[in-house]
Amino acid sequence: MFKRLVDSGRTDIAITIFEQKKKLGAGMPYSAEGANDEHITNVSGNEIPMLVTALSDWIKSVSKDTLDKFHIDPQRFNEYKVLPRLLFGQYLTAQFDLLQKQARELGIPYKVFYHSQVTDIIDHPDRELVVVEINEEKKFEFDQVIICTGHHWQHQHEGKVPGYFDSPYPPVKLALQLDHPVAIKGSSLTAVDAIRTLSRHNGSFSKDHQGKVSYQLLDHSPNFKLVLHTRNGMLPAVRFHLEDSHLSNDALLSAEEIALHMAANHGFLSLDYIFEKDFKLPIKEKEPEFYAQIKDMGLEEFVAAMMDLRERLDPFQLLQAEYAEAEKSIRRRASIYWKEMLGVLSFALNYPAKHLSAEDMQRLHKTLTPLISIVIAYIPQSSCEELLALHRAGVLDLIPVGDDSHVEALAAGGAIYSYRDENNQEVTQYFKTYVDCVGQPHLSFEDFPFKSLLTSRTVSPAKLKFFSADEGRKAMAEGKDVTQDQHKDYYLKVSGITINDHFQVVDAYGAFNERIYIMAVPYIGGYNPDYSGLDFSEAASAAIVKRLFLQHEPATCP
Ligand SMILES: Cc1cc2nc3c(=O)[nH]c(=O)nc-3n(C[C@H](O)[C@H](O)[C@H](O)COP(=O)(O)OP(=O)(O)OC[C@H]3O[C@@H](n4cnc5c(N)ncnc54)[C@H](O)[C@@H]3O)c2cc1C
């Protein structure tokens, strides 16, 4: 967002940044809050938006000590490599510094307040300004506010129940020697983060002369084990060579095409339409053989076919096979196009998703999202090698637990995991240590942190209209969170707050707010179902800055 404002070159604006920590740029995933030395990004330089300096150039300026610490040879580093998250955080901080320098050179006034937590935001429509409260004490007035508060991990039992962790972050808390099995909920990137930390404190990895990784337990932890629990019993797919950054994919529907389609479809975006146009059609050209297999499949059929393939194979065998496939893709710099397009589809769907009908949003969550979350998690190669080594050493297992599994925290410590096994038998197992690794949850409307915006009804719960009143009635009868308005239309409540296409908050009467924008993903997940990444920040900030400057044309403009 700051880069967008600096790039505008507008000297008639004044920017103020409030950061609760003492550093800009690194945020949660790329600082000690979200990473230790062993944690790596799942994107490489070529997949991230350009800031000021390319990552591969910046690496050359990093001190030898730092590079040695992370085992990086600057001569061999290229834009296709993933890198340690803490090092990436240093890059982002350095880029923020360079952007500040640019702002100074351009004469754009800006201020940064560190150790300044925004504790409330109060909108004053009558005065056309917004008050921002810092550390429950000082108040500042602004014409516009953009909320970029990022990740938030809620604490439920952690700190009260010994051995129970609501998330693996900050990961330093998992630097534990544990001579017993550890239960992990989830099997995707968040679980991989927990695995990378816990495995290092209870054993060690080594590589033979052919590069094969193996794992040995340490003497103090002979009974250490990691037990992953997932609803579908699957591991995520392996990172391969990605051809396009999502934004540069020109095969996608334009905003105008989407608007025309919606106008002809009672104002709704059709999930089937976007699946055909933003997924199947681009594949036709690039991967005709795969297209021939899927051309007659609807969304549900496609997802079932792809899931079936995964369900039939042992997850670790599949991981091994996908590792080999991904290695070939990376060596040849050739994408596995349908998997890349699934990521692109998720990205493309993110922005207009608020225009889906409630029926289509439910289909999205039921069918496409589980496949997307597996395929586009993109486990980096080194994490994949470690997972396979841990499994070979008998230290890593994966248990399918179904939708009705349950975790109960015990006051005395640890948790009981209850689920039905493959033979439909009830299993209850006690674990002394439990880590919830389902990832950043979509937070509800009630969790919104800036309470004055809730009490003044400046923000409202996100909801989606049902295309068919019958379906709405049915969903209401089933006990889903459905409401009916004065026009007798049915709406499904989804997580988070209502926003418009420019990321402006929308009030309880349906009016968007000219002053308040939000791009903090946990609070807008109902309308932005995609897994956020740096490409999201690029797209969201573009939409915001466009609207921001439309409202405030410079005085000198003709
Ligand atoms: C563990 C993890 C790993 C990830 N890895 C990748 C990856 O490899 N590649 C990728 O593309 N995406 C990744 N992501 C996705 C991630 O969402 C984005 O890459 C990016 O970090 C989001 O940036 P953000 O600025 O929105 O949020 P954050 O990084 O969370 O930054 C928010 C900032 O706001 C500050 N803040 C919060 N609340 C307040 C307040 N009330 N007052 C003042 N300041 C406040 C915080 O201190 C922080 O500096 C990862 C996410 C997680 C959780």
Distance 196 CA to ligand 1 centre (A): 20
Among candidates 509, 542, 543, 536, which has minimal Cα distance to 520? Answer: 536
Of residues 477 and 308, the one with the higher pLDDT is 477
Instruction: Let me know if 553 is exposed, middle or buried by CB neighbors in 10 A (0-12, 13-18, 19+).
Output: exposed
Mean pLDDT of the chain: 92
> What digits encode the pLDDT tens for the residues 496-534?
999 999 999 999 999 999 999 999 999 999 999 886 788
Q: Is 534 in the pocket of ligand 1 (CB under 6 A)?
A: yes
Structure tokens given for 59: 């690496």
**If you measure from the C-alpha of residue 459 to the centroid of ligand 1, how many angstroms do you get, rounded to a whole number?**
22
Residues 101-141: pLDDT tens digits?
Answer: 999 999 999 999 999 999 999 999 999 999 999 999 999 99
CA 149–ligand 1 middle distance (angstroms): 8
* Predicted local confidence at residue 514, as pLDDT: 95
Assess whether pLDDT exceeds 50 at residue 247. Answer: no
Could you tell me the distance, in angstroms and rounded to a whole number, from the CA of residue 29 to the centre of ligand 1? 6
Question: What is the pLDDT averaged over residues 485-492?
Answer: 95
Closest residue to atom 24 of ligand 1, CA basis: 150
pLDDT in tens, 407-437: 999 999 999 999 998 888 999 999 999 999 9
Q: State residue 552's pLDDT score.
A: 64
Ligand 1 mutation pick, 532, 535, 544, max ligand atoms within 8 A of CB: 532
The pick from 28, 51, 537 for probing ligand 1's pocket by mutation, whose C-beta has the most ligand atoms within 8 angstroms, reads: 28
Regarding the beta carbon of 20 and ligand 1, being less than 6 Å apart is answered: yes
pLDDT category at 305 given cuts 50, 70, 90 is confident
- CA angle, residues 153, 346, 288, in degrees to nearest 5: 150
pTM of the model: 0.93
Q: What is the pLDDT of residues 315-342, one digit of tens each?
A: 999 899 989 888 887 777 777 777 777 8
- Would the pLDDT of 255 be above 50? yes
162 close to ligand 1 (CB < 6 Angstrom):
no
Contacts of 30 (CB under 8 A, 6+ apart): 41, 85, 86, 88, 89, 92
